[in-house]
């Protein structure tokens, strides 16, 4: 049998609240530390304990990070999903199963490795048997595919952060799993690992923590938040790192408030922005829905404010622990009336950090609400990284007038007057005594006084449009990988970055065509995106939702001569994107349009 090296997918079916997450992260870390390109996806329920959870580990020398097309090694621990999981496996799949689950193994076309995981664990520590059993399967996998024991033990040590007892217990559990496997099985499957040269300095980090750190290096001054999956760890990341990074003379240089709801969280962010500080909140779609009224206020009264949306599956409560790009349209045109908002869309953890600080600069520069748009896949899964780049420019506090001299030097100053011709007015801060005005969500003239006059309203709305449009080419430019042919182009965004390479390869293998890609990183759209479309014959707009929301935004803004070559592939089932699924849909569209 040919060996399959570093190119397979392990699926681990457990119940949540049983400690399996630690075991899975140890597995992931060990493979990573062996230099093998690996990714982990946690498919967890909206529940604390007892419901089915799957963890998918993809090993890929090609660097593919999406979940693969199929499972090659299945670990079965959870009786609740046993039959369904087992039935879904292709013939020849390896199944490592817990014989203490009292479930039947009724497949004969698979490669079976039965292990009394609970019994082994109980022998080690009866009280903690349920949790340790998870590390037993890690040991079995390690032995089976040839993982390095020393690296494994280092990963265990890392996972338990120096807690000697836990490290010893779990290391022993892994060793017992290993030796059970060695003593009882002859390897009949092809899956194996080989260590690769390891690039030094790599680590795993979740997108949410990267945003959190970026925010702190962006000088966040006030965080107000209301807990919601999958964004809570973003706020909690900020809270965890602030004391170490932002204490001065023993006191806080920031304020954190857990709000009573998302409305209040938004209100506090706007209050902080009005007072002249960098306020932030983190939420998900349901929270953004609740914040709509405030978002309109911040847009119309021109108050800097930062909102991170870690997208989960909507509508309504939806699938709270699954991923989607379904909030994009809501962010771009959030709140009633005519609005348009700046949206930063990171696709990697490095960009999560970078956009974490950049959003504040944009929000204060343009005096408007700015959104960071992440999703559960990027935000809550661990991604390999080699570091974050320190901000390459000082904080941009925008057009804030701080002194009387400054104010006097501005000819014909008015809070909402476009003095510079870029649509961005100057502002003064409460407490400064300079140009005191009453901010309001009602119609106002260039001096901030209440007005319902038709020409005043019309001009104000035109200026706001000009202001946000003016941001287009100042926002992160798209990342383009362009083929010489310039025939087929794919426009995509966000966490799809982690699947696009595999999609690209599948397309090239299947059609022989080389495909260019363009990853949009911000709204409103950068002029380079339009130029990319101009240069290509057929363009697919690829996204993880039902309604082709990015496609809709483009169709609304782009000239007619481009529309005929723009085609949508939008698909969402809650799962992190699987490459083949999207590639096939793209090929269907290409066939339809004669490509």
Instruction: Tell me if 277 contacts another protein by CB under 8 A.
Output: yes
- Sign of the C-alpha dihedral computed for residues 416, 417, 420 and 426 taken in this order: negative
Instruction: Tell me if 268 contacts another protein by CB under 8 A.
Output: yes
Q: Is 367 helix (H, G, I), strand (E, B) or coil?
A: coil
Residues 411-430 that bind another protein (CB under 8 A): 428-430
Q: Among 486, 520, 489, 466, which Cα is nearest to 590's?
A: 489
CB of 215 to another protein, least distance (A): 11
Stretch binding another protein (CB under 8 A), from 78-86, 185-193, 433-441, 534-542: 433-441
- Exactly one of 438, 531, 563, 593 binds another protein (CB under 8 A); that residue is 438
CB of 297 to another protein, least distance (A): 5
- Exactly one of 197, 260, 405, 592 binds another protein (CB under 8 A); that residue is 260
Instruction: Tell me if 23 contacts another protein by CB under 8 A.
Output: no
Instruction: Tell me if 275 contacts another protein by CB under 8 A.
Output: yes
- Exactly one of 165, 199, 248, 561 binds another protein (CB under 8 A); that residue is 248
Stretch binding another protein (CB under 8 A), from 10-18, 201-209, 489-497, 557-565: 201-209
Q: CB-wise, 435 or 483, nearer to another protein?
A: 435
Q: Residues near 584 by Cβ (< 8 Å), separated by ≥ 6?
A: none
Q: What stretches of 314-362 adopt beta strand conformation (E)?
A: 319-323, 342-344
Q: Residues near 533 by Cβ (< 8 Å), separated by ≥ 6?
A: 489, 491, 539, 554, 558, 562, 565, 566
Count of residues that interact with another protein, criterion CB under 8 A? 71
Q: CB-wise, 254 or 492, nearer to another protein?
A: 254
Cis preceding linkage at 230, omega within 30 = yes
Instruction: Tell me if 507 contacts another protein by CB under 8 A.
Output: no
- Exactly one of 245, 531, 563, 593 binds another protein (CB under 8 A); that residue is 245
- Provide DSSP, 461-527: HHHHHHHHHTTGGGSPPPEEE--TT--EEEEEEGGGHHHHHHHHHHHHHHH---EEEEEE-EESPPH
Residues 207-236 that bind another protein (CB under 8 A): 213, 216-222, 224
Stretch binding another protein (CB under 8 A), from 10-18, 181-189, 274-282, 562-570: 274-282
CA 139 to CA 134: how far, in whole Å?
9
Q: CB-wise, 3 or 150, nearer to another protein?
A: 150
Residues 323-382 that bind another protein (CB under 8 A): none
Q: CB-wise, 429 or 587, nearer to another protein?
A: 429
Report the alpha-carbon angle 257-259-264, nearest 5: 120
Residues 379-398 that bind another protein (CB under 8 A): 387-388, 390-391, 394-395
Instruction: Tell me if 480 contacts another protein by CB under 8 A.
Output: no
Stretch binding another protein (CB under 8 A), from 72-80, 259-267, 418-426, 498-506: 259-267
Kindly report the length of the chain: 595
CB of 29 to another protein, least distance (A): 9
- Exactly one of 148, 153, 236, 293 binds another protein (CB under 8 A); that residue is 293
Is residue 534 within a helix (H) or strand (E), and if so which, with residue range? helix 527-535
Distances (CA, A) of 117 to 102, 174, 189, 235, 498: 12, 11, 20, 37, 34
Instruction: Tell me if 167 contacts another protein by CB under 8 A.
Output: no
Q: Among 479, 484, 485, which Cα is nearest to 497's?
A: 479
CB of 548 to another protein, least distance (A): 32
Q: CB-wise, 450 or 458, nearer to another protein?
A: 450
Q: CB-wise, 51 or 400, nearer to another protein?
A: 400
Distances (CA, A) of 440 to 168, 265, 296, 415: 62, 19, 11, 12
- Exactly one of 5, 128, 255, 419 binds another protein (CB under 8 A); that residue is 255
Half-sphere exposure of 461 (CA within 13 A, CB side): 13
Instruction: Tell me if 431 contacts another protein by CB under 8 A.
Output: yes
The stretches of 108-161 forming alpha helices (DSSP H) are 117-124, 129-145, 149-159
Tell me how far the alpha carbon of residue 299 is from its chain's centroid.
25
């Amino acid at each position: 049998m040919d060996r399959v090296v570093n190119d397979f997918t392990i699926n681990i079916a457990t119940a949540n609240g049983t400690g399996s997450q630690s075991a899975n992260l140890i597995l992931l870390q060990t493979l990573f530390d062996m230099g093998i390109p690996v990714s982990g996806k946690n498919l967890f329920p909206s529940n604390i304990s007892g419901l089915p959870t799957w963890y998918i580990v993809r090993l890929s020398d090609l660097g593919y990070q999406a979940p693969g097309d199929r499972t090659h090694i299945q670990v079965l621990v959870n009786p609740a999903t046993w039959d369904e999981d087992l039935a879904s496996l292709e013939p020849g799949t390896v199944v490592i199963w817990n014989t203490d689950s009292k479930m039947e193994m009724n497949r004969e076309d698979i490669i079976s490795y039965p292990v009394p995981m609970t019994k082994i664990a109980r022998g080690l520590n009866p009280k903690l048997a349920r949790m340790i059993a998870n590390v037993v399967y890690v040991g079995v996998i390690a032995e089976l595919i040839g993982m390095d024991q020393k690296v494994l033990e280092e990963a265990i040590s890392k996972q338990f952060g120096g807690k000697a007892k836990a490290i010893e217990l779990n290391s022993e559990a892994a060793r017992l799993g290993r030796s059970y496997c060695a003593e009882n099985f002859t390897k009949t499957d092809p899956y194996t690992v080989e260590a690769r040269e390891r690039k030094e300095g790599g680590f795993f980090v979740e997108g949410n923590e990267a945003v959190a750190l970026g925010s702190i290096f962006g000088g966040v001054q006030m965080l107000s938040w209301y807990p919601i999956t999958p964004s809570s760890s973003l706020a909690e990341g900020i809270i965890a790192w602030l004391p170490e990074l932002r204490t001065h003379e023993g006191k806080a240089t920031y304020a954190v408030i857990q709000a009573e709801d998302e409305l209040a969280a938004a209100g506090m962010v706007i209050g902080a922005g009005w007072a002249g500080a960098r306020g932030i909140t983190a939420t998900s779609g349901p929270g953004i829905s609740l914040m709509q009224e405030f978002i309109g206020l911040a847009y119309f009264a021109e108050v800097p404010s930062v909102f991170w949306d870690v997208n989960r599956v909507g509508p309504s409560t939806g699938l709270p622990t699954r991923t989607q790009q379904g909030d994009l349209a809501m962010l771009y045109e959030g709140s009633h009336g005519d609005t348009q908002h700046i949206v930063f869309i990171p696709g990697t953890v490095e960009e999560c950090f970078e956009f974490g600080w950049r959003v504040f600069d944009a929000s204060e520069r343009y005096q408007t609400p700015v959104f960071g748009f992440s999703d559960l896949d990027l935000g809550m899964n661990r991604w390999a990284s080699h570091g974050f780049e320190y901000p390459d420019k000082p904080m941009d506090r925008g057009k804030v007038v701080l002194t009387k001299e400054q104010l006097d030097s501005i000819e014909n100053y008015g809070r909402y007057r476009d003095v510079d011709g870029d649509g961005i007015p100057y502002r003064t801060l409460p407490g400064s005594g300079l140009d005191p005005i009453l901010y309001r969500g009602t119609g106002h003239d260039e001096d901030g006084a209440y007005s319902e006059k038709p020409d005043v309203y019309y001009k104000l709305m035109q200026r706001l449009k000009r202001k946000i449009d003016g941001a287009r080419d100042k926002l992160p430019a798209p990342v383009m990988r362009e083929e010489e042919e310039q025939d087929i182009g794919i426009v995509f965004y966000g966490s799809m970055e982690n699947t696009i390479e595999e999609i690209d390869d599948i397309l090239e293998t299947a059609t022989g065509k080389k495909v260019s890609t363009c990853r949009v990183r911000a709204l409103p759209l950068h002029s380079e995106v339009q130029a990319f479309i101009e240069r290509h014959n057929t363009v697919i707009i690829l996204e993880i939702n039902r309604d082709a929301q990015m496609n809709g935004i483009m169709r609304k803004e782009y000239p007619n001569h481009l529309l005929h070559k723009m085609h949508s592939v939008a698909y969402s089932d809650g799962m992190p994107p699987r490459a083949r699924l999207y590639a096939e849909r793209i090929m269907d569209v290409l066939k339809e349009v004669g490509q």
